[in-house]
């Protein structure tokens, strides 16, 4: 997500990436992905309280995916833009964006 001029990563993204690696949908583990991104761009792990994010995620009833709920809730609490390719998130969170590389 982008809050002000800062690139933030929801901690739940790390868990989701590792899950996708464990089930074979990714060929690289979460730590490698995050480290690679941090080398390419300044990236900070978002530090909002888990309790606040979970409470806000209860309102994201448009999805049954707990990862999506937490990611959107975190962006919503920060009033931040959310970079995602996920069409469903883009349809339900007005600040979600995706730009294809040229």
pLDDT digits 0-9 by tens, 7-52: 999 999 999 999 999 999 999 999 999 999 989 888 999 999 999 9
Q: Residue ranges of the domains in the chain?
A: 2-97
Is pLDDT of 102 > 70? no
Q: What is the CATH number of domain 2-97?
A: 3.40.50.1010
- Supply 18's token pair: 């590792």
Q: Count how many Cα atoms sit within 13 Å of the Cα of residue 90 in the half-sphere of its side chain.
A: 8
Q: What share of the chain is helix, strand, coil (3-state, %, to 5)?
A: 50, 15, 40
Could you give the 3-state DSSP secondary structure of residue 48?
coil
Give bridge partners of residue 9 from the DSSP assignment. 45
Share of the chain above pLDDT 70, in %: 98
User: Rounded to whole angstroms, how far apart are CA atoms 47 and 23?
Assistant: 27
- Whether 90 and 84 have beta carbons less than 8 Å apart is answered as yes
pTM tops 0.85: yes
Torsion from C-alpha of 72, 14, 100, 48, nearest 10 degrees: 40
């Amino acid at each position: 997500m982008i809050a002000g001029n800062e690139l933030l990563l929801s901690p739940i993204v790390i868990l989701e990436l590792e899950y996708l690696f464990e089930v074979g949908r990714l060929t690289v583990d979460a730590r490698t992905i995050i480290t690679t991104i941090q080398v390419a761009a300044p990236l900070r792990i978002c530090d909002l309280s888990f309790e606040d994010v979970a409470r806000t995620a209860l309102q994201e009833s448009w999805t049954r995916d707990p990862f999506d709920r937490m990611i959107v809730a975190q962006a919503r609490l920060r009033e931040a833009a959310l970079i995602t390719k996920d069409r469903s998130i883009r349809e339900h969170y007005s600040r979600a964006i995706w730009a294809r590389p040229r």
